Amino acid sequence: MLNVDLHCHSNVSDGVLSPAALAARAKANGVDVWALTDHDELDGLSQAREAAAELDLHFVAGVEISITWANKTIHIVGLGIDENNPDLREGLMSVRGGRESRGRDIAAQLEAVGIPGAFEGALKLADNPELLGRTHFARYLVEAGVRPTVTEVFKSFLVEGKPGFVPHRWATLEQSVRWIRSAGGRAVIAHPGRYGFDDLQLNVFVEQFRALGGEGIEVVTGSHHPAQYDEYAAYARKTGLLASRGSDFHGPTESRFDLGSLPPLPPGLTPVWHDWAL
Ligand code: AMP
Ligand code: MN
Ligand code: MN
Ligand code: MN
């Protein structure tokens, strides 16, 4: 059975490793088919593709787009995209746009609870300043000794109702699916178990997603608890959505699952890669 990992992050967004280092790690971990899916950014894809080619690792160009739907932040993964597509490129540029001022607002909230210097501190940890995000703030708070780990930071900071949470308007669902499709890619709902949807909301969301041409859903992801693998496998079988698998790896010391280390997709699903030339 192929080891397919279609979700991870490099230092071009909020991952720790370079695209080339991720390719090497995927290969070493036995991954056969690998996608890089940085948040709202395509700049790591050419380095990733070259590194994968040298390693004889099948590469899939990807992206993870931040959207706002019903006042929730949702992530849509695009797989098999052409990163030179102008619709996708311009769309993502606009999505990246508000991150700096949001970062200043996050820092102001942290300063108000006695943590100064977070904007500069987080920015220094962001290899791509255009992608300054909550993960960089979380790493800064670890560095500053506020909490021992990034996971602990996200329990007390940067999330709704806690200091350092700044609501943000990302792309729309319609834009994200349209950009992915115009770039020749396949749209996949990332880690559906993380949004706090009830059954009705999930159904409404999926119905809109499919009406726009969205096709897939992540079932086995490092962002799900194991019980959610079965829950979303059942959902994919029921709805006929294509099933995806990806570690959502961000870095060796931060992620619960390394590249290629998740269990396989449960049986009875149509994988998102079912019609790819592998
Ligand atoms: P942003 O796009 O700047 O809002 O940052 C979102 C990123 O924060 C996600 O892609 C994750 O990498 C990280 N993140 C969000 N919630 C958590 C959490 N509870 N634990 C660890 N990382 C998280
Ligand atoms: Mn992330
Ligand atoms: Mn995500
Ligand atoms: Mn991700």
How confident is the model over 88-124, as pLDDT tens digits? Answer: 999 999 999 999 999 999 999 999 999 999 999 999 9
CA distances from 189 to 118, 119, 149, 155, 204 (A): 32, 31, 28, 24, 13
Whose alpha carbon is nearest atom 20 of ligand 1?
Answer: 151
CATH topology assigned to domain 99-156:
DNA polymerase; domain 1 (1.10.150)
Q: Ligand 1, atom 17: nearest CA belongs to which residue?
A: 154
pLDDT tens-digit map of 25-58? 999 999 999 999 999 999 999 999 999 999 999 9
Q: Quick one: which atom of ligand 1 is closest to the CA of 66?
A: 2
CA separation, residue 25 to residues 100, 104, 209, 254, 262 (Å): 31, 34, 33, 15, 14
Closest-approaching ligand to the CA atom of 74: 3
pLDDT, averaged across the chain: 98
So what's the pLDDT on residue 257?
A: 97
Say how far apart CA 68 and CA 73 lie, in whole Å: 5
Residue nearest to atom 18 of ligand 1 (CA): 154
- Report which ligand 1 atom has the smallest distance to the Cα of 73: 4
Contact 247, 255 (CB under 8 A): yes
Give yes or no for a contact between 71 and 77, defined as CB atoms under 8 angstroms apart: no
Percent of the chain at pLDDT exceeding 70: 100
Q: Are 271 and 243 in contact (CB under 8 A)?
A: yes
pLDDT band for position 183 (50/70/90)?
very high
**Interatomic CA distance for residues 78 and 216, integer angstroms:** 10
CA torsion through residues 124, 43, 32, 57, sign = negative
Residue given tokens 């690998």 in the structure block = 34
Q: Mind listing the pLDDT tens digit for each residue in 236-264?
A: 999 999 999 999 999 999 999 999 999 99
Structure tokens at 187: 């749209």
**pTM to 2 decimal places:** 0.98
Q: Does residue 223's CB lie within 6 angstroms of at least one atom of ligand 1?
A: no
Q: What crossing angle do the helices spanning 118-125 and 99-112 adopt, rounded to 10°?
A: 130
CA angle 101, 103, 108 (to 5 degrees): 95
Identify the architecture of domain 4-94+171-246 in CATH. Answer: Alpha-Beta Barrel (3.20)
Task: Using most ligand atoms within 8 A of CB, pick from 13, 101, 130, 135 the residue to mutate for ligand 1.
Answer: 135
The domain spans of the chain are: 4-94+171-246, 99-156
Among protein residues, the one with the nearest Cα to ligand 1's atom 2 is 133
